[in-house]
Structure 1
Amino acid sequence: MSETWIGLVIGGAALGIAMIMVISHYRRERMRARMLRELNRHGPWHQMRVQK
């Protein structure tokens, strides 16, 4: 019985760590996409395109 509990604890810890890593990766990718959109909107090439 104790081996079962040890396996469950180790498996639960691994799943918890994996979930934290997935969430942080998702948040970084969302931030990166937002920053790229803002860079595209406010870049100097946009101003040159508007002046033509």
Structure 2
Amino acid sequence: MTESWMGIVAGSVVLAIAVTVIIGHYRREHMRAQLLRRMDFRQCWDVMRRRR
């Protein structure tokens, strides 16, 4: 009985870590998408053209 509880606890810990990693990945991707949406490509193009 104790061994089965140890397996359940270990599995729960692994699942909690996996969920934390997945949430972190989702948040990073969401922030990246927001930053790309906010970026004004015309302004970036003008800045790149002036460097020459």
Specify the TM-score bucket, using the shorter chain as the normaliser: 0.7 to 0.9
Deviation >6 Å, runs of 4+: none
User: Which residues of structure 2 form unaligned runs of 5+?
Assistant: 47-52
Number of positions where the alignment pairs a residue of Structure 1 with one of Structure 2 = 45
- Give the Å deviation of 1:42: 6.2
Between the two structures, name the one with larger relative contact order (CA 8 Å, sep ≥ 6): 1
The two structures have a TM-score, normalised by structure 2, of 0.76
- Give the Å deviation of 1:43: 4.9
| Paired AA for residue 17 in structure 1 | I
The two structures have a TM-score, normalised by structure 1, of 0.76
User: Which residues of structure 1 form unaligned runs of 5+?
Assistant: 47-52
Q: Secondary structure at the match of 1:25?
A: helix
2:9 aligned with 1:4: no
Q: Alignment identity in percent?
A: 47
